Structure 1
Amino acid sequence: MTQLKPTGQGDLDAAIKASSDLLNLQATHAVGPFALSGRIRNDYDRLRTALESCGYYEGTVTITLHRTGAGKDAVKVDGQSADVAAWIDSVPAKEKIAVDVTVEKGPLYHVGVVTLHDPKTDAPVELTAQQKAAFGLKSGMPAVAETVLGAGGHLLDALREDGHALATVETPKAYLRPQTRTLDIAYKAAPGPVLNIGQISVGGLEKVNESFVRRRMTIKEGQLYQPSQIDAARQDLTGVGVFSNVAVKDGSTHAVNGTMPLDFTFKEAKRHAIGAEAGYSTDLGVRGGVNWTHFNLFGNAERLKLAALVTGLGGSAQQGLGYDVYADFFKPDFYSRKQNLSVRLEGLRQLFWSYQQTALLARAGLTRQIGRYWNVNYGLLAEQENIKQFGVSRDYTILAAPLGAAFDNTGVGNPIEPATHGMRASINAAPSVSLGNKGSGVSFFTILNATASAYLDLTHIGISKPGRSILAFRGTIGSIQGAGTYDIPPDQRLYAGGSATVRGFRWQGVGPQYNKTRYAIGGTSLDAGTVEYRQRILKSFGMAGFIDAGQVGSSSSPFTGTLRVGVGGGVRYYTPIGPIRLDVGVPLNRPDRGDKWDLYIGLGETF
């Protein structure tokens, strides 16, 4: 049994505990006298090193052994004595040995004179103000090993970031000055010349076009050599989605015509993937199917996804089975590095209680990044559909030119991964025309909507550890301008209810109803809000509680209609790809034919 007397200094006690074999190995099987005596002697060196690493160079370590047998007087043995093994061997087999470790830290040493010289000429090395700040080692600081040794690494990083690609910083020499209780530090550093990026070589490409990789690179030959920018270029190429690994290293051990060449090496990922998706809610029923994705279709990281899904199985807002079949094409860097092209062809059938729809859609759009957190999107949409509502069947041809802007500073790249801080916001407008076909006229209208969500990590007010307790807020507002409700195709109207707006009310269950039935009419204005508390429990589980409220109106002005409120909660199981979510919502003021409760199961948070 080993006991350590605390020194009263947290970081020092932690270092001592981490260094002591007597403490860390006491739970293992018993060892013989010579092995134990060797462990005791090694602990002296380990604990002395721990003291010195924290700046205590005059500290003392005392290790005392006691016999603890019944009726026996305690016997104190000097742990450094040459006959420790013999004393241990003399202890009867049934008796135990207790070990007491006492550390006296003594006075704290501080950094004395700090010098920085060239290893070849021994001349002093001149640093810029920024390099001095990165080095950070000054006379009078506590002589802690982590600070002293870390200063060299910080200086090397700063030198390389300023273009000194061949800079070297050697391990420092320390000179103990007991009379002043200081530690003089001597560093040798060779900055070397300032270099630009030289020839960039590319290796390992098989199906990906080299021309695409070079266009995509955020660094160019001739710009200042900076490791941060070089690694940012590597990470950007990794994020394209067609590489399993991207590595970069200096291409030479010496300068080449005032430059440093770079070697990029790529390992391409698999080109094909088969996936499945599934979800369930009591209002929309089961939605599930398979998809197939071809990555790097034409050699420039294009992506083609084909999917086929069955929808509407057993949902309270559904009248029968439907389908959703689509092909998505994605092309990055379309005529501009920060501009992506998306094209979708889709066929779907949806048998809601509100309306029955069979449609063919084609849409194409561009998304362009305009800042660190902002992007804009614009495109065209064409839709040919037949909709049956309240026993009347009509054909519609819809053309639209949607455009919008989005902001996201949550730092979450994967949409399934929950956000823990920051906010997301989007605003969209879709000028549309519904052309006259069988049973319908021509109408012009514009759909406007905006959504914002914010995430507050309660660690900022000292309640929990980072990422464990989150308050999430969501607000949505929408309006249709230019036409009345019945001049707008039913699928283009605004609806609320379900996981996207007000949980506890079925899909399209909030808003004007046809003759107080479950048939929703839809509206021309919408507003909804959510407050949700998310709490992680243990490693893989979590829980949530929420309040949703929203309304749909028959005028184009939001905040009209009958406000509906739902409350509920759920559980989460966190997997490597994201949380599996199960929520139950209950309406507080449900309409006559509304659901009494709704269950939602899916992957990822609702927002």
Structure 2
Amino acid sequence: MTCSLAKLWVSGPVILLLSLLVTFSPVSEAKTHKVKVSIEGTSDTLGDNILAHIGKLNEEQLEQPQLLQQQLEKAVVSAARAIGYYHSQFNYRIDKHKHKLMLTVWPGPRAVFVDPILEIHGDAAKIQAFTKAQKRSKLKAGKPLSHRQYDAYKQHLLSLADDYGFFDAKFTKSEFRVDREAGTGQPVLIFESGQRYRFGEVNYAGSMLDDELLEQLIPFKRGDLVSRDVLLEVNRNLLDTNYFEEVNIERDLVRGTHTLNLGVLLQDSNKSRYEVGVGYSTDYGTRLRFGWDKSLVNNKGHSVSFNSEWSKPKKELEASYNIPWHHPLNKYIKLSTGYQVKDVEDSETELLTSAISFYDKHDSGWVFGYSWEFDLENYRQGDEDVNHAAYMLPGFNLGHSEIPENRDPARGHRFDSYFRGSSRALGAEVAFLKGYVSYRQLMPLINHKTLLLLRGELGAIETDNILKVPVSRRFFAGGDNSIRGYAYESVSERDSKGVIVGGSYLNTFSAELSYRVLKNWRIATFADTGRAYTNNDEPFSTGVGFGVRWLSPIGQIRVDLAHPLDDPDTQVMLHIAMGPPL
């Protein structure tokens, strides 16, 4: 016993030392290199397909020639047959030093489609989308055989069937008769669409809104034919109201009557939304913005919002309350009140406004607006005393726009117009009728890289004395979105003291050509011209220049250098603006 303990006592440190040496001794790990595969003797299509079937190879696989041969054979044969090569052969060689595998493929003759039988039966045969798919099918006699095209055609018909409400559609015959020796393949596809489904009941759950209001957002009537576009419109309409946090639409097929019932599961939005922003433009300088809105106030779909903007020349507050009139998106009444203070050039205005407006958006995209406004305005020009005005202002708006929602739209347009008027009977010091029309058109020249932006404004005020019309209703020009090369609202007629007084008429025109030089950058050159005047002898003011457009993640940022042609004291003026071009 004593002897064994002594041996154990001596061997203990040795064992510990050996374990430490093993633990801390460097272990060389074999580094596995990836193998680069190259293919010769095939088209790019077949070569890419073979590479996709092979996947990734490493050096260890090169050391197992039997398994490697099987893997390559399976990849080449599968990839080749998928696009009609049934007699392919190959060999390969390995360069271990360069970690390469060179594959040479002899695909042989490619099989072709022969005598395709493609038939569509049922109501779908009368729908253009199906007949067009049949005519444009790549399964044509004499064309190179491809299993992908065969599968794609089948999937396309089934997808169309779902889009158009043929929920019982199926292939009564689906065969691909391949004769490898003859090098031919005959697709036989008999498609039976069955009867097209019609919309049935729509049931709502989860929302406090009245069903009568929700039904206005449904763009179909019971008995209308089902289509995917209409279903997408239902979902889009519900989300666009901002009434809901979540919208889920469940389908319930009643196969006996070929009816599609919908279950609309809604989660109301009970949260208030806040918006805080900082911007900059040459017209306003640094601009701060705060907004708050609650999109769902009650079961009638009313909403409320508050918005404010602050900049050196202009401070503005507005609160509004919206009431749906039958349709929450297309027809609504807006009750609003606002307060504005503006100090630009020689004019100072303080304006308190209350208004009731009605908006009606048509399916054609035209928006009609009717308003009745009450204004309290204090204004002063130059060294004159403050003038006070209180007047009613009935008005009419008409607009239409198509503006793609992306940072760099290639085309689009925007049309805006309004007509306002007042009289002594409505409180005005002098009767006046004001009309304004603006139009912007964006279009590509040759390609998307080169764009032309055209802009024009026309305005007129019919009155006996423009100087009796409140300053906020007169016309001024100049600035980032008017005539570049001139300060904001600095282009107008002046009185005998040189004070800007505003004009009875407005016309401005602009042409801008831009070219995309990098992914997120455009360069531009432009010419702007126009005037705000009462006397027709007033000359046009024209600015020309160039600039850059940064297509930033938050939108387009425009930086321009403009030279005013009729102002010898100003060599160049910097203009900075943010937002879409239209």
- The answer to whether TM tops 0.5 is yes
CA contact (8 A) 1:149 1:171 kept: no
Counterpart Cα distance in 2 of 1:35 and 1:296 = 69
1:506 aligns with 2:487: yes
Match of 2:223 in 1: 222
1:309 aligns with 2:309: yes
Match of 1:423 in 2: 413
CA contact (8 A) 2:478 2:484 kept: yes
Q: Secondary structure at the match of 2:216?
A: helix
Say which one has the larger Rg. 2
Q: Deviations over 1:445-488 (max 9, x none)?
A: 22222211112234xx2x5xx5x543322122222223343132
CA contact (8 A) 1:537 1:543 kept: yes
Match of 1:543 in 2: 522
Structure 2 CA distance for partners of 1:132 and 1:286, relative to 1, 3 Å: closer
Match of 1:278 in 2: 278
Match of 1:587 in 2: 563
CA contact (8 A) 2:370 2:396 kept: yes
Counterpart Cα distance in 2 of 1:127 and 1:206 = 37
Match of 1:134 in 2: 133
CA contact (8 A) 2:94 2:101 kept: yes
Match of 1:497 in 2: 478
CA contact (8 A) 2:243 2:269 kept: yes
May I ask how many residue pairs the two structures share in their alignment? Answer: 541
Q: Secondary structure at the match of 1:238?
A: helix
Counterpart Cα distance in 2 of 1:129 and 1:222 = 19
Match of 1:476 in 2: 457
Equivalent of residue 485 in structure 1, options 443, 466, 475: 466
Counterpart Cα distance in 2 of 1:489 and 1:508 = 16
Match of 1:83 in 2: none
1:247 aligns with 2:227: no
Structure 2 CA distance for partners of 1:111 and 1:436, relative to 1, 3 Å: closer
C-alpha deviation, 1:98, in angstroms: 2.9
- Give the alignment of 1:369-388 within 5 angstroms: 369-388=361-380
Structure 2 CA distance for partners of 1:16 and 1:376, relative to 1, 3 Å: farther
- Give the alignment of 1:79-118 within 5 angstroms: 95-115=97-117
Match of 1:406 in 2: 399
Structure 2 CA distance for partners of 1:395 and 1:41, relative to 1, 3 Å: farther
Match of 1:74 in 2: none
Structure 2 CA distance for partners of 1:127 and 1:489, relative to 1, 3 Å: closer
Q: Deviations over 1:239-291 (max 9, x none)?
A: 22233443334213x51544222222334456311111332234422221311
Match of 1:3 in 2: 38
- Give the alignment of 1:27-106 within 5 angstroms: 30-33=59-62, 38=67, 41-54=70-83, 56-58=84-86, 60-67=88-95, 95-106=97-108
C-alpha deviation, 1:549, in angstroms: 1.6
C-alpha deviation, 1:60, in angstroms: 1.9
- Give the alignment of 1:67-466 within 5 angstroms: 67=95, 95-115=97-117, 128-130=125-127, 131-136=130-135, 137=137, 139-140=140-141, 141-160=143-162, 163-169=165-171, 172-187=174-189, 189-203=191-205, 205-252=206-253, 254-269=254-269, 271-312=271-312, 318=313, 322-334=314-326, 338-392=330-384, 393-410=386-403, 412=404, 418-433=408-423, 442-458=429-445, 461=446, 463=447, 466=448
C-alpha deviation, 1:506, in angstroms: 0.9
Equivalent of residue 574 in structure 1, options 513, 532, 552: 552
Structure 2 CA distance for partners of 1:32 and 1:549, relative to 1, 3 Å: same
Counterpart Cα distance in 2 of 1:598 and 1:185 = 67
Structure 2 CA distance for partners of 1:424 and 1:59, relative to 1, 3 Å: farther
Match of 2:501 in 1: 521
C-alpha deviation, 1:382, in angstroms: 1.8
Q: Deviations over 1:321-351 (max 9, x none)?
A: x521111333445468732333321011112
In the alignment, residue 125 of structure 2 is paired with which amino acid?
Answer: T
Q: Deviations over 1:488-511 (max 9, x none)?
A: 222211111112211231111122
C-alpha deviation, 1:581, in angstroms: 1.2
Structure 2 CA distance for partners of 1:453 and 1:43, relative to 1, 3 Å: farther
Counterpart Cα distance in 1 of 2:70 and 2:301 = 61
What are the ranges of 5 or more consecutive residues in structure 1 without an aligned counterpart?
68-90, 119-123, 313-317
TM-score normalised by L of structure 1: 0.79
Q: Secondary structure at the match of 2:540?
A: coil
Counterpart Cα distance in 1 of 2:490 and 2:65 = 75
Q: Which moved more, 1:209-218 or 1:328-337?
A: 328-337
CA contact (8 A) 1:510 1:564 kept: no
Structure 2 CA distance for partners of 1:470 and 1:111, relative to 1, 3 Å: same
C-alpha deviation, 1:537, in angstroms: 5.8
Counterpart Cα distance in 2 of 1:367 and 1:361 = 18
In the alignment, residue 420 of structure 1 is paired with which amino acid?
Answer: A
Q: Deviations over 1:544-569 (max 9, x none)?
A: 42424232243387x95332214231
Q: Secondary structure at the match of 2:235?
A: helix
Counterpart Cα distance in 1 of 2:251 and 2:165 = 13
| Percent of paired sites with the same residue | 14
Counterpart Cα distance in 1 of 2:328 and 2:193 = 38
What are the ranges of 5 or more consecutive residues in structure 2 without an aligned counterpart?
1-35
C-alpha deviation, 1:379, in angstroms: 1.6
Q: Which moved more, 1:587-596 or 1:221-230?
A: 587-596
Q: Deviations over 1:577-602 (max 9, x none)?
A: x4151423323325477695233243
Counterpart Cα distance in 1 of 2:425 and 2:342 = 22
RMSD across aligned positions (CA): 3.4
In the alignment, residue 369 of structure 1 is paired with which amino acid?
Answer: K
Structure 2 CA distance for partners of 1:6 and 1:503, relative to 1, 3 Å: farther
Counterpart Cα distance in 2 of 1:556 and 1:201 = 64
